[in-house]
Each structure stands twice: as structure tokens, then as C-alpha cells.
A and B are shown apart, each in its own frame.
Chain A
Amino acid sequence: MYHHEHCEGFQCEQQQLEASLAQSGSELGALDRLMAWFRQRSLFVLAYGTGCGAIEMRPLMTSRFDAERFGIIGAATPRQADVLVISGYLAIKTLKRVIRSYEQMQAPKYVIGLGSCTINGGMYWDSYNTIKQLDHYIPVDMYVNGCMPRPEALIEGFVALQQRIAAGTPSGFERYRANIDWYKANQRRVLGDNMPPDYTYDWYHAGGVA
């Protein structure tokens, strides 16, 4: 006899992961809590792979691991995306494109660093043309370590990010806006004269008015 009382398989996993979402964010006001709830329930991920970690995004988004059940789906354009997943090593050439994509996203926006390469360079620690610490160039909200992390680890990273959003923690974008000169100096150190154009970030200098 089949009783559908207890969860099974991935439903169980989903319930466990979502259990802690309900009580977080208790120190926020009612409207802030509501906004945070909507934000964490709906994360659009920019479909942009930078390194080998992008191979883990396909099973995550498709039938096997089905990230859509957490409200996580892909967005084709940075204008509509909320989350930028830096999947693995970041070549200096790619960094320029990443910065442009990140600056075109609309706040609040989040960055997930996937794999060891975003933390300390990983196996590319002595490479001449990859960056070592992603957080020096764009603000990272959540790291998922491993080489490569499995899609399950990535789901845990996403859920940890959702918990942060639900708790009302300011996104890394606030840090970027506050320390824009430091980030731009770091970017200029690796990119040299080859910087992305100013018009994608110059409103940060105007205090969000322009």
C-alpha cells in the first residue's frame, strides 16, 4: 500500500532546504520581508559560462536536477538577470566581458563564485592570464568550492544565497557601489588600458542620481 505521507527523494531535499527560509528575515519590516521573499523565490541566472564549471550548469537547469523548482531559471540577457554565476577560472579577456555584463544587470544583483578557481585561482594559481581572487574585481555573494562542485553543491549554494536574501542581507552590489574606486583600480591593474567603457558604471559615482 502506497502512503504519500512522507516526502521522498528530491522532494525531501527540497523540504529540508526550504525549512529554514520560513523563519529568516524576522528583523525586517513587513514590506521589506515581502520584497525579500519575492526576490529569493525568483532568481534569474545569466546564461553565461566563463570556464569549465559551466558544464555543471546544464544538468542543474535541466530535468536531472531541475533548479526551476527553486524558482531559479536562466535569463538570456543581463538586463533581466539577478544572479551571475562565475563558473570556474576567469581569463583576463573574459574578465572584461564579465564586468560589462555585471554592470548591465539591474540591482539588486548577486554573484556566485563556482569552484576553487574563483576563490584562490585553484589549479590555475600560477597561470599568467587568469585572475586569482574574483572578489577583488567584482563583489561575490556566495562561493561554492570544489573542483568541480557537483550540481547538488551548486543547489546548496543557491539556497544559502536565498536564505541571505530572505534575511535582508545587502547584496554585494552595495559593496561594489560603495567601493567602486577600489574595484576599478583592481580591474585597471589587470586590464591596463583595455578597460570596459565608463558608461556602464558611471552612475555609481553620481550616488545613483544620474
Chain B
Amino acid sequence: MAHYIIDALAMLGMSYVMGFLFYGFYRQFNARVQRRWGPSVFQNFFDNMKFLFKTETIIHGPMFFFGPMIIFAGAVTTVLFVPYLKDSNWLQGFSHSGNLILIIYLLVVGPLGNALAVGSSGNPFGVMGVTRGLTRLMGLEVPFLLGLALVMVQHETASVHAIMAAQTDFAHWNLMTNPIAFIVMILPFMASQHASPFDVVGAPVEVYAGPRVEFSGRLLGVLMTQNMMMTVAKLVLIADLFLGGATTIWALIAKTFALFLLTAAVSTSFPRLRTEQTVDFFWKIPLGLGVIGVIATVWFPWS
């Protein structure tokens, strides 16, 4: 029992610390690309703490308060059901009790909680942001699920542990054995991290900070915290499924950082797509590749 509690706290703490350091790196990286000096690596931690220490927080009714709590609970459970390390007793959380299908369900708790909370605030900009968010979600969920399904079909299991165990060395990483699934998966993954070509939801100059327009003070602090933890959980999930998992914490940091760097590089290079362009893109390129991948995986004997 004590093992579970310490393990869960360690996972949450590690996700939070990795989250703010990764986002701090992202801001510096962005700044250097724009020939600026950029803020400190800890800037996201400072911002988050400042919001948590605000003395005033406006609340528009009970649902407005419970929405961020639902989102936060979704992020915490996602973190706890993703195994962080391979062949280890530590940083496992409750991942032995869950599988990939449960994680798929947990990933959409956030957007739904967001919609509930923003709807009760009555702010038209917030509602506009949520509409864009759910439209984009419709576009990205289909290829995302198809990418996960490809991996599940390839290994004939839904257990993240079994998929990790099957990838023994670099040649057996799913990145090498099933590159189509990786491409199908990585694009919606970037969108779910609000990275730049697909960041129309929170576009500040267009919809006033998107769904978060009415959140302030401690509620915004909670939302920032869950966003950082969720990002790390998703990065670890992709590293587990395609990069063979990690046996040590250093390998975990290296692999998740490589994935984060890929996202950061794409998002500094490409301008923002409109909502319908995003959905068009997802339903053409990743989904088309996904269909080809399904045909290759299911029917052709050599795959």
C-alpha cells in the first residue's frame, strides 16, 4: 500500500517537474528561433505558482469550479495508468490494472470537462474556443485511435506492458517495424499538445485565449498544472508504444525529450491552420495513411 502511494506521488511529481522544464525549454527554443534571449527555464513554474497564489479567483457557478477539477482528475488518472518504466517496480502507478483502451477513454476527459466548465461561464469567446476545440478533436481522434489500433493489431494485445516487452531492441521498436502507425499517431499527438500548426483553439489574437478566457487565479493554475502533467503522460505513452519504453529514468527523459523536440521544431516552423483546414488535414493525410496501414497490417503476410 505504502509502495503504491509513494509510487503515485513520485509519478505525479516527476510529470510536473518534467512538464514545466519541457515547456520552459520550449519557450527558450522559440525565443532563440525568433532571435530573442527568452525567459528562464523555470518560467512556467513561476507562472503556475503565481496563479496558484493569486488572492482572488472568480467563480461562475458550481460547474465552472468542477470543470477544472474534472480535467485535473483526468490528467492525474492518465498519469497513473501509463507505465513510466519497463521491467521495474517503480513508476508503474496502477498501469497493471489498466490497458490502452482505458487510456483512450481517459484522454478525452479533459476536453469534455472543459466544455462543461466553459459553457457555464457564458463567455462567447470561451464557447467559440470550445467549439473549435471539439471540432479539432473530431478531426484528430479518428487517426489517433487508428494509430493506436494499428499497434494493438500488430501485437494482438491492448496491454501497454506487453507492447513494451515485445520491443526488445532498436530493430524491434514499433518506430522501425511499423513506421506508418508512428506517422499516423504523431500528427494528432502534436495537435493534442496544442502545438503550432494545430493551435487554433487557444489562438490568443483570434479568440482571446480560447476556452480558458474566463479562468483566472487558482483555477487557471490548476489548468496549467494538469496541462503540464498531461503533456508528459502523452509523451511517455508514445515513448512506450513506439520507442520501446525506457528501463531507466534517464532513458525515459531522453526519449520523451526527443519526441518533445520534434513537436517543438514542427511548431516553430509552421504557421497556424484554420479549424476546417485542421480537420481536412487530419481526415486526409493521417487517416489515409492509417487506412493503408490497416491494409498492410491485416492482409499482407510480411508485416
Contact = CB atoms under 8 A, between A and B. Distances in A.
B18 interface: no
A97 B4 CA distance: 53
A39 B38 contact: no
Most buried by A among B27, B57, B208: B208
A69 B39 contact: yes
B240 interface: no
B38 A38 contact: no
A11 interface: yes
A68 B26 CA distance: 13
B216 interface: yes
Interface stretch (B29-37, B135-143, B192-200, B271-279): B29-37
Given A66-B31, A68-B36, A79-B214, A41 B50 contact: yes
Contact of A66 (B38, B40, B46, B214): B38
Nearest to B215: A79
A42 B53 CA distance: 12
Pick the 4 closest A-B CB pairs, nearest first. A79-B216, A107-B56, A76-B204, A41-B46
B131 interface: no
B63 interface: no
Given A38-B50, A39-B50, A79-B58, 17 more contacts: A10-B37, A44-B47, A47-B204, A62-B36, A66-B37, A66-B38, A68-B27, A68-B39, A69-B36, A69-B39, A71-B40, A71-B47, A73-B39, A76-B204, A79-B215, A80-B212, A80-B220
A77 B213 CA distance: 6
A70 B39 CA distance: 7
A81 to B, nearest CB: 9
B215 A11 contact: no
Contacts of A75: 209
B119 interface: no
A42 B34 CA distance: 21
B289 interface: no
Contacts of A82: 50
B30 to A, nearest CB: 9
A76 B204 CA distance: 6
